[in-house]
Structures are given as C-alpha cells and as structure tokens.
Amino acid sequence: MESDADQPVLAIDLGGTQIRTALVTPDRQVVARRAEPTRDDRGVDAVIDHIGRLATETREEAVSAGYAPAVGVGISSPGPLDPWRGIVVAPPNLVGWRDVPLREAIAGSLGLPTFLERDTNVAARAEWRYGAARDTRDLVYITVSTGIGGAAVIDGRPLTGPGGTAGEFGHLVVDLDGPRCGCGGIGHVEAIASGTGLARAGAELVRRGEAPILAARAPDPDLVEAVDVARAADDGDAACRELLERAWVAIGAMCASIVNALNPEVIVMGGGIAEHHPRLYEVARAELVRRALPILVDRVRIVPAALGPDVSLIGALPIVTERIGDPRYDGSHRPQTAAQGGASRP
C-alpha cells in the first residue's frame, strides 16, 4: 500500500441532506468542521458556491489553528459519477444534478488538486485503510440506510468498472417476483431491505389494515417511515417484525451472492439501519451459511463498520494521497466504453 501523506487534506462530503467539510490530518484527526443543509432546491450553482464557501472556512480556520496547509481536496458525492473527469452524472438524491463538473469547480475556487469519488467508494477506502477491513486485500463494503450502497476491493485493488459504477450491490436481485426498485429493476435487495423499501412495505401494511400498532403510530400511509416500522416491531407488531426479518434475510441473500461471486475475506456493513439493528448481522450470517458455497463461507467475516459517520471525511485522505500526480485523474483521461473498445478494433 502507498504511504500516508505527511500533510492534511481538505475533505468535502456532499450528501442529499448535508454538506460537510473538514480538515483531515495524516493521523486522522477531523478538525475545523462545517456542516450545513444541502438544500438542492436552490439549484446546482448555489450548492457549489456553498460547498466552496464552507471548504474555504474550514481551510482558514485550520490555518489559524496552526495546522499545516492542505495538500489537496477529496470530495465524497452520491453516484453515479465519473471519478476520472470529476463529473457528478445524475444522483437520484440531488435534484437537478446532471453531468456537473464538480471537481473542476471546486479545484478552481480552492486552487488545490481536487478528486471526486462516489460516497461508498470513499467509505470503503477508509474502512480498508484504517477501519474494520484493515490488513485485508479482498473486502466488500455495504451501507444499509435510505438506500443500499456498496463497494469492493479485490486483490488489493478497488473495483471500479469502466464507468466507475461497479459495486452497486443494492441492486442485486434477491427475489425474482419482488417489488420494483427505485431504479426500475425488479426484486432488488434495496427495494426490500433499505429504509425506502421498509417504509414502502410498511405503508402497504397500513393501507391493508394488517399492522395495527404501526397504524397507531403512523395512520397516514404516505407518511410511514422505516423508523416507524422498526418501533412498531419493537412494540410487538407481528407484521412489522416479519418485514424486518425478511429484510435481514434479503441482506443475507445479497451477501451470499457477493461471497459466491467475489470470495471476499470480509464484508464490512455500515449505515444507519445496520447500526441500529444488531440482529441484521446475526440473520445475514445465518443466511450466508444457508445460501453460499461452504468453502467460501468458512473464510468470510461479516463485521460492523468501525469509523462511524466520519468515514466519508476520513476517506478523503487515501483518495487524495493516492491520486495526486496520477495522470488518470488529471482531467485528461477518458474511461473506455464498450463502444469505443469495439470501434478501436481493426
């Protein structure tokens, strides 16, 4: 592995609800933090200006507190995105964002080498270098929250794919006739076990009058949230308990498919839902044993993420230090598409 930087980096975490910035030191202190609502309803330019302003404030505060100057900027953003050209392509949870050259805009306003990466890849990098997957070469990172995201490192190399979108494990099929996913596909694990999927299934139970305790908490089906389903299950709602149990089984089935395909040493599981439901790990492990090849099951561990909510800030450190000076990320590289590959053949 590459050696760590001896200078701090500026970390930007662009999320659907919050923009966060901080300085991350080589020994992984996270300082001079800013966090403000994203408010994507203001339009793309306003959000970019806001990111630039918060990052500038972070930089100034860190300098006046005596920290060494940042050597570069790492941006974590929802995907899909193009990490080589630094373009945010069309994230479902940033309204109006389509082919936004975010890297260039932030590099211009801060005057530092700047790198853009998908949020799950940033988190996976952080858990790999400093967290729950330290000292492994083959790992899968899964986040279970509003959606289900993923990333993988195989044989010591992050799995990217030609467009930078490999590792979307939330869209693995776990039920041939299952519900339709937000992406349009059928039977994806995200449609069953994400916060959005649980809320949708809970709303359906309320509509059919099959979850009295949930209906007492959230009488309007349109306003049912995943947390209502979880609370109703805690309070003894049998249908909600079944929903949650089925969600954990679906996550176990997803893990089994991942293990069969990729043979990882460790699956690191993070995200709000995973954190709040320790039973998820237990059920997922049992389903893995039931559904994956025994020789692979014996070698893989499922472990909770170790770095908490700062994972997307801390991940800026390896992103920046590994990419500074790499010509693939200087803006000139174009990922090769299947069409280009075909056209270049004689």
Q: Which is nearer to Zn ion, 102 or 189 (CB)?
A: 189
The whole-angstrom separation of Cα 329 and Cα 158 is 15
Q: Across the strands, what pairs with 265? A: none
The whole-angstrom separation of Cα 134 and Cα 212 is 45
For the chain, the straight-line distance linking the first and the last C-alpha, in angstroms and rounded, comes to 38
- Residue 89 Cβ vs Zn ion, minimum distance, rounded to whole Å: 16
Q: Across the strands, what pairs with 157? A: 154
- Residue 195 Cβ vs Zn ion, minimum distance, rounded to whole Å: 14
Q: Which is nearer to Zn ion, 183 or 293 (CB)?
A: 183
SS3 content of the chain, % helix, strand, coil (to 5): 45, 20, 35
CA distances from 279 to 90, 247, 286, 300 (A): 34, 11, 11, 18
Residues that bind Zn ion in the complex, under the rule CB under 5 A: 171, 181, 183, 185, 188
- Residue 147 Cβ vs Zn ion, minimum distance, rounded to whole Å: 9
Beta-sheet strands, E only, within the chain: 9-14, 18-24, 30-37, 73-77, 81-82, 87-88, 114-118, 139-144, 148-154, 157-158, 266-270, 301-304
